[in-house]
Structures are given as C-alpha cells and as structure tokens.
Chains A and B, each alone.
Chain A
Amino acid sequence: MPKLDVQQGTLALMILKTLDLLGATHGYGIGRRIEETSRNKLSLNYGTLYPALLKLEQEGFISGEWGVSENNRRARFYAITKAGRKQLVRETRAWKETSTVIGFFLAPRRGDA
C-alpha cells in the first residue's frame, strides 16, 4: 500500500491536535501517534517532522523541553501553548471549511459519497 506524504500545512495541524490531546510528548511519540491515527496511511520521517516542530516552536505555538521518556530515554518533550490552542481552533475551522469546499467540487451530486 503506497503511503501518502504529508502536506506541510496539515502536518502542523496534526501536531497541534496531537499535543492538545496527549499533553507533553516527544517527537517520536508525536510521529507514532500521527501514523497510528492515520491508520498507517501516512509515513513521517525526520526530515518532515522535526523542521515542522521547530517551525511551530519558532511561532510560539508549542514549547519544547528536554525530559525523560517512559523508557528512561532522554528526549525533547513538546507541549502546546495558549497561542497554539487558539491556532488549533483557527486551523481546525479553516481546514473544515476547505474540505467542505473541496468536497463540493469532487461530489457534484449530493448524496453520491
């Protein structure tokens, strides 16, 4: 089964949603969670995930700190910030609108899907 690549904008939304649900999580955990949630239809590699985390951190939507994992591994834990929650609400609304609109285009007749 070919796996999908993640689009940049949507990855940020997924990360924020994941952190909102799970609380502070390290990069590996975030990646695993996203893969699981997507029922393994998405695959994430470092090159996509870590720059996205850095970008969100730069924007102030998440904050990162070193800590210790459940398996006693040193890892960097990320948590969603207040600004991040607001962003999550905004992004969720925008995404829903977009997918509705796209849906109109792809399903010319109602009820087809």
Chain B
Amino acid sequence: MIASMRRLIARLRGTVGGARSDGDVAAELDAHIAMATDANLARGKSPDDALRAALLAAGGVEQAKEAFRDQRGFPAVESIVRDARFALRSLRKNPGFAATIVLTLALSIGATTAMFTVVNGVLLDPLPFANGNRLVWTVNRGTRPYDAMSPPDVHDWGALNDAFEAVSGWTVSQVDVVGGAAPVHLTAVDVIGNWFTMFGVRMALGRGLVAGDEGLGKPKVAVVSYGLWRRQFGGDRSIVGKPMLLDGTKYTIVGVAPRSFQFPNDADIWRPTIPNPQLESLRGNRFYRGPVALIKRGVSFDEARRKARLVNAQLRAAYPEAQQGLDFDIQPLRDHLVGSTGRLITILFGAVGMLLLIACANVATLLLVRATGRGSEIGIRLALGAGAGRVARQLIVESLILAAVGAMLGFLLAEAGVRVIASHAASAVALASGLSIDWTVLVFATAVTVLAGLGFGLAPALQAARTDVVDALKAGGRASSMRRAASRLRHALVALEIVLVLPLLIGASLLAHSFARLVDVNPGFRADQVATFDVTLPRCGTGWAPDTTCAGVQGTTYMTEASVAGFGRQLLDRLRAMPGTQSAAISMGAPFSDWALNQGTITVVGEPRPPLDHPNIVEAKIASPDYFRTLGIPILRGRDFTDQDRAKYTERNAHEILWVAIVSESAERKYFRGNAIGKQIAFAQDATMEIVGVVGDTKTESLDGRPEPALYTAFFQSPVYYITGLVRSSADPGTVVRGIRAQIAQIDPALPVYHLRPMRDAVDASAARQQLAAGVVGGFALAALVLAMIGIYGVTAHTVRDRQRELGIRIALGAPRGRIVGLVVRDGALLVAVAIVAGIAVSAAGSRVIGGLLYGIASTDVETYAAASAVLAVVAVVAAWIPARRAARVDPMIAMRPE
C-alpha cells in the first residue's frame, strides 16, 4: 500500500520531469556495458568480441531505455500525448478533411445540446416547486369550453375527496397601480387558501397567503412576484409591511415570491380571494380557473383520480342543470403546463437526434475512407512492430481530438442556440423562459461527443487491426476481402444517412407548407394598419364582490355603468378625432388577444330549447359602432350597431329600449336556420334581444382554429370596464401609439394603457409555434441534406479510386465516357433508390407524430413525399456524378499505372 503510494508519487514526478534524466540513465547503461566488456576482456576475449558479447548479453539499448521510461512515468499518458501530437500533425496535413469533420460535429453537437437544454428544462426538469409531483390540474372533458369551476364546485372538489390535501382556484384581474412616475398596469391573481404552502414554495421574503387572509372585513394584503419586486421596488429588502395602491385601494405587502415561482405565469401580484357568503348561489358560475389540487402524501395519482371521478359523478347527479357540459377529471400539473408544446419539443428533439445520427454516420464514413486510404501507412507501422492495439489507439486518439474540438465549438453554438430559442420561443413554450445550459446538459454533450468520437475512431481502428500487413503493402492491397468489408460498411453508412435524411426533408416541407397555408389563412378580419390596446377601469372590491362604498379609495373609480359608458364615449370620440384615423371602435378583447375568447349560451325565442348537454354555444363579443368597419369584417345582412342603440342607464323606461345583437354567419346557419334578422334571443340578461345584423365569420384565437358561432352585443348597451380600443389609421405606427397614449392621459392621467401593439403582431404570434417548428426542422433538414451529399460524394469518390484500374481498362478498350459515368452512378443510384424506399417507410411510420402540428396538409401528403424523394434522389445522383465524371475523364495510361 505504502509502496504503491511511493511509486505513484515517484511516477508523477517522473511524468512532470522531476526524476532521473534520460542522460543519467544512458550513463548507467554505458557503465553496465563497460563493466561487462571489462569482464569479457579479463576472460581473454579480444576487445571487439568483448564489446559485442557485452551488448548481446545486455539486450537492446533502446528497448531498455523505453522500458525504463515506462517505469519512470505513466507510459499511457506519455504515449497518448505522443499520439495526440502525431494526430494533430496528420490532421494539419489534411485541413479540409479535419475542418469538415469538426464543423459537422460542431453543428450536430451544438444542435443536440441546445435541443436537450430545452427538453431538459421543459419536459424533464421537476416543476420548480417542492410539491410539483403531487399537484394536479382539474380538466373539463365535457362539451363546454374551459377548465374552470364555480366556487361551490371548488369547495366540493376538495371536501368530498379525501385523497386531496388541498384544492385551490384563482381568478385574474387587471389592476392599475397609481402613484409612481407613470401609471402601471398589473395582473393580479386572487387565490383561494394556502396558495404558496400548497405548491411547497419557500418565500423569498415575508410570508405567503393563508386561508385566514380571506374575507371582506380582513386587512387587505398582497404578495408580489419576484419580477415585480425587482422591477417596481428595486429589490427593496424591507418591502414587507409596506403599502401598495391597487386600483386606488391600499394593500399591505406581506411577502415576495421566489424567482422560481411564477404560477400562473402572468401573475404580478397574488391576493387572497374574497369569498361570497352565498356560496351555493354561485353554482354554475365558473370563474375559478382550472383548480389545482394537492394529492396527499402516499396516495397514488390513480387513486386520487378514481376518487375525483367519483366526486364528478356526484356533482353531475346533484346539479344536472349547473353541471351540463361539464365533466371534471384530473391530470398531472406538469402535463397541463407542457401541453401540446410537448409534442413540438418531441418532434424537434427527434429531428435533432436524426441530425446527430446522420452526422455520426457521415464522420464515420469520412474517417473510414481516410483509414482505407491510409492502409499502406498503417501497414508499414504494423510491419515495423507497432502493436495492433497501439495503431487502434492512435486512430481513436485522432477521432477524440476531432470530437473534442467539435464539442467545444458545438457548445458555443448551443449556448447561442438556447439564447435564441429562449427569446423567440417563450410564447410557444410555456416553461422556456428560465432556460440556461446547466451541468446535466454539459454532461450529456460530453457523453455524446465521447461516444461519437469513440464510435468514429473504432470503425477504422477495427479495420486497421484486421489489416493483414502483407496485404496492405501489396500494391495498395486491392481486391482484398478487407476492402470489400470496408466498402460494404461505407455503403451501409451512406444508406443509413439517406434513410434518416428523408423523414427530415419530408417533415420540414410538410411544416413549411403548413406554415405557408396558415399565414395565408383569412382570419375573417384585416389586421393590417390596425393598432389595439387595453385599459382596465379601476373599481373597488374584486370581481363578483364589488365594494360600492369605495371607502378610503383614492383616485377616479368607475363603479357605475354610466361612468364606464361615459369613459367609452370619450375614448371613442378622441380616437376618431386622431389625425390619420380611418375608423375606430371599442370592444372587450381584440381577436387573437388574451381576452379574445369569452363564451356563453343563447336560446332562440320560438325554437325548441337545446338539450342540456348541447347548449347553443356562442363566442360572446362586445362591439361599439364601427367595430366591423375597423376590422374589415363584412356586414352581410342587416345593420351595424349605431349611436341610436341606447343603453338603459340613460332611459327612464327600460322596457322601451330595443336590445340589439349581431350574429356571425355560422351562428345564423347553426342556430337560426339561416335566417337570423329580426329573431329574438335570450342571452345572459333577463331582457330578450333582437338580431339586427349578420356579419362574416372570424377566427378568434388562432389561425388554425375553426371560426365558431359568434354573438356581438352593443358596448353602449352593456358596457364593460375591461376596454379594448381598435384604431385603423393611415398614420405611421409610432405616431398612432403616441397619439393613443396622449389621448388616454387627457381623459384620465392615472390610467395605464397596455397591450398597445399592431394587431398584426398578435396574429403572427399565434403562428409562432408553427413558424418555430418549420424553421428549426427546415434548418435541420438542410444541414442533413448537405451532410448526406458530402457522405455520398466521399463514398463515390473513394469507390472510383478503388476501381480506377478497372475503369482505365474499360476506357482503354474503348468504352465511351458516358458509359463509365453511368457505370459508377448506377451503383450509387441503386443504393440511393433502396434507401429512399426505406426512408419513405420510416417517414410514413413517423407521420403520426407531426400530424398535430400541421394545418391544411395531411401528414402523409403524397406530393410532398414524392417531391422530397425526388430532391434527395437528384442531390444523391449529383453527388455521385461529380466523381464519376472525373473518373471518366482520367487518362487510361495513368489510371492503369501501379501506384
């Protein structure tokens, strides 16, 4: 033990050069020879014989020195350093080859690492809170939209299910903060119960919210998000206990959430919800968003789900009317958060995996070609006594150097790639905002690199070890069985590349087609030249529990419909008066904005009541006069809203008011048998409404969605305090934006404007996911195609060199050059044809994966398959044709001359 330690230390010293020098050793060996010679002389030999005998007895001097060096330091390390030096020298002699391999590796390793970072951050990482694995999302599988629950449902969801430790829902309000330099708009999330404890979150400062904070008479408290704390309060560590004015009401800040906790992801502040004491009266009013539940420790998800389904059945049986179209179930919270993004990431990861495989095959092909080209060199080294293991190691070291340089470049590429993905894809990928390359990714990248390096090194190395020395030296060793095996391996690798490239090509062109069709889709309105923005008029109290007294509230509040309508009127007039305005309107939620979707049910007077489970669902929208003109939505029949469609608050006798509504074309078709004008409907309010117009269909949330039946009510008949302004203007966007801000500041300087943007941006953003997929897969496909081309070229060039003599004879015997080209290309073409058929089979098998991302094109679109196969075939034939043509041009005399 101690001896081996001593030896280790001495060897380390030997390695770094602190031990006996080579000269010292040589002197000792010289002394040995001298003494042996002396002894031989003493025995009566002649001086020459004496020396020869001494040398003979001593063995080879160089071998002795080598053995001595082996004992002195770490021979493996020293010889690997030698191998590395040798490898660098031989790579430098062939810079094109080295650069191709390094770039291939850098590209594939970079792409793999970037994608793995995304996959790791979004799909594999645990949710960034302690109870992540026990949290579930309540999903509605019924016919009615949304995952949302009424307050009594949320209560029962927890109370009737003993598998749940806690259940919480939330509502979202837009609030304004007044008092700073400029008014600020925030998203406030009002939550039920022990929100932060349920998630298992440790607060950055102060405390989280508890059930005891809820109630109308309680002191008003709030928790701020980490981002808001940094942004708005400059990271003030003494913030706990300080006041904050939300919509003019004073709240005390009791805590700061940690940076890692951002749920729901737009929350700036969390407040305790204000429960309505008449809980049961709210049955069916689903304003709590997707309740989240915490499963008790030790209870399985399946168990909790079984019980939840039981509670759901109980609720449906007890409240058939309120629960119509509702069918609650649970799913892991992670699944909900990742959602359909998971599929996108899977596809991208699959694509990048294929790219890496192609790159590996390509580099292996290149190294293999090089190794066979170096057959003679290796043969000479073997003949000179180098062990086969030594030669193999030399080749592995060479590959590892290439892999290491490639990995370093790849890592830099990956870092840039992740930054790009994180900034561009945050909207498409829910959890992508916090991505950064971490050590697991580094390990992954390194593992890929080392495996790739060993893989590439091993193939030629195995081949070299099998090389028969004499065979290798003999006229370049033509026609040996080793050559045939190598050629088979090369062809197999190229075939593999083609099989892998085709799905990428097909996938990329499907996605590109789909994206092109998507952005060409007519959403039913014209977004160009329209700017939209939101304002939220401050109120006292929250949501369904307004505080009409507004005690202690500062600033202007809008507690009556008259005040809201008054604001709306002023706003509309000012927008219309802005220079350049062609038309302007107000609404609640522009299409493709966060508030766009709002659903309700209608019944048509005189028609049979629809069954409970299949109500007449409409997208409920609110429009001022000119809304349709501003958005370019055609009025097909009847009329627009006008200033004469007056509201009840201006009228003494509400009964005399004509309540009006406008429906979309598809609503007319679906619910009014194609004739809606003049029909009466019941919707939300007690009074019935008369349909006065029919307008064109529009898409509300996304370009790939279907236009749903829509019902428009008049803003000035039922005004809302969440107001969206829409301005169609011929002025330049910057002027419009400044103009809008100025106009609102003149009405109410304390009112923040937000979501102010060209409408086009919102529409484009809805296709961001498809754009990302098409762009990334397209990039991969292009890279893969180039790699495959290099691979095919390399293999054909090598085959041509192998057959040079044969081709030379053919030319000498009078074969036309065209035939020579055909001969060479035909070999490659056959291989390519077989590989393409296999590639089509692989693509068809994998087409299901991509189907969900496609719009307006089938995942098995025959034309796309044919076109991609044709492109690949052409590229392959061109890659084979270039070296073939060169072979045909060669002078037969030179071709046949031995090397």
Interface residues of A (CB under 8 A from B): 26-29, 31-32, 43, 45-48, 50-51, 54-55, 57-61, 69, 71, 73-76, 87
Contact = CB atoms under 8 A, between A and B. Distances in A.
A27 B28 contact: yes
Nearest to B13: A58
B317 interface: no
A73 B32 CA distance: 10
15 contacts: A26-B31, A26-B32, A46-B32, A46-B61, A47-B59, A47-B63, A47-B67, A47-B68, A51-B67, A55-B7, A57-B10, A71-B35, A73-B31, A73-B38, A75-B35
Given A58-B7, A59-B7, 20 more contacts: A27-B28, A28-B35, A28-B36, A45-B57, A46-B32, A46-B59, A46-B64, A46-B68, A47-B59, A47-B64, A47-B67, A50-B28, A51-B70, A51-B71, A54-B68, A54-B72, A71-B35, A75-B28, A75-B31, A75-B35
Contacts of B7: 55, 58-59
B39 A58 contact: no
Interface string B28-61: 1101101110110000000000000000011111
Contacts of A75: 28, 31-32, 35
Contact of B3 (A46, A61, A74): A61
B22 to A, nearest CB: 12
B297 interface: no
Nearest to A59: B3
Contact of B68 (A26, A50, A69): A50
B35 A73 contact: yes
Contact of B6 (A28, A32, A60, A69): A60
B11 A58 contact: yes
B35 A69 contact: yes
Contacts of A47: 59-60, 63-64, 66-68
B25 interface: yes
Contacts of B63: 46-47
Pick the most buried of A29, A58, A75, A76: most chain B CB atoms within 10 A of its CB: A58
Please classify the interface of chain A as helix (H, G, I), strand (E, B), loop, or mixed, using the class held by over half of its residues: helix
B75 to A, nearest CB: 11
A58 B19 CA distance: 10
The 10 tightest CB contacts between A and B, nearest first, are: A45-B59, A46-B64, A58-B10, A51-B71, A28-B35, A59-B3, A47-B64, A75-B31, A47-B67, A58-B7
Contacts of A59: 3-4, 6-7, 10
A94 to B, nearest CB: 14
Nearest to B31: A75
Contacts of A31: 32
Pick the most buried of B28, B39, B57, B72: most chain A CB atoms within 10 A of its CB: B28
B479 interface: no
Contacts of A50: 25, 28-29, 64, 67-68
Nearest to A31: B32
B422 to A, nearest CB: 54
B59 A74 contact: no
Contacts of A73: 31, 34-35, 38
B27 interface: yes
Nearest to B63: A47
A13 B64 CA distance: 20
Given A50-B29, A75-B31, A43 B57 contact: yes
Nearest to B28: A76
A32 to B, nearest CB: 7
B385 to A, nearest CB: 15
A13 to B, nearest CB: 14
Contacts of B3: 59-61, 87
Interface string B66-93: 1110111000000000000000000000
Contacts of B58: 45-46
Nearest to B56: A45
Interface in B1-28: 3-4, 6-7, 10-11, 20, 25, 27-28
Nearest to A54: B71
Contacts of A48: 59, 67
Contacts of B28: 27, 50, 75-76
Given A27-B28, A58-B11, A75-B31, A45 B64 contact: yes
Interface residues of B, number: 31
A1 to B, nearest CB: 15
A60 to B, nearest CB: 5
Pick the most buried of A28, A31, A73: most chain B CB atoms within 10 A of its CB: A28
A45 B4 CA distance: 25
Interface string B427-442: 0000000000000000
B81 to A, nearest CB: 20
Contacts of B20: 54
A32 B39 contact: yes
Contact of A76 (B6, B31, B34, B70): B31
A112 B68 CA distance: 43
A27 B6 contact: no
A32 B54 CA distance: 12
B163 to A, nearest CB: 67
Contacts of A60: 3, 6
A31 B36 CA distance: 10
A73 B61 CA distance: 19
Nearest to A61: B3
A46 B25 CA distance: 11
A27 B68 contact: no
Interface in B284-325: none
Contacts of B38: 71, 73
A101 to B, nearest CB: 23
Contacts of A43: 57
A46 B68 CA distance: 9
A77 B312 CA distance: 94
Interface string B412-452: 00000000000000000000000000000000000000000
Nearest to B69: A51
A28 B31 contact: yes
A26 B28 CA distance: 9
A55 B61 contact: no
A47 B55 CA distance: 12
Nearest to A75: B31
Contacts of B29: 46, 50
B287 to A, nearest CB: 81
A60 B521 CA distance: 85
Nearest to B36: A28
A76 B20 CA distance: 12
A58 B68 contact: no
A7 B459 CA distance: 37
Contacts of A58: 6-7, 10-11, 71
Nearest to B61: A46
A111 B35 CA distance: 45
Contacts of B71: 51, 54-55, 58
Interface string B471-506: 000000000000000000000000000000000000
Contacts of B10: 57-59
Contacts of A27: 28, 31-32
B63 to A, nearest CB: 5
A100 to B, nearest CB: 24
Interface string B391-406: 0000000000000000
A22 to B, nearest CB: 15
Nearest to A87: B3
B29 to A, nearest CB: 6
Contacts of B32: 26-28, 31, 46, 75
Contacts of A55: 7, 71
A74 B57 contact: no
Nearest to B42: A71
Nearest to A60: B6
B182 to A, nearest CB: 76
B68 to A, nearest CB: 5
A59 to B, nearest CB: 4
A60 B28 CA distance: 19
Contacts of B64: 45-47, 50
Nearest to A45: B59
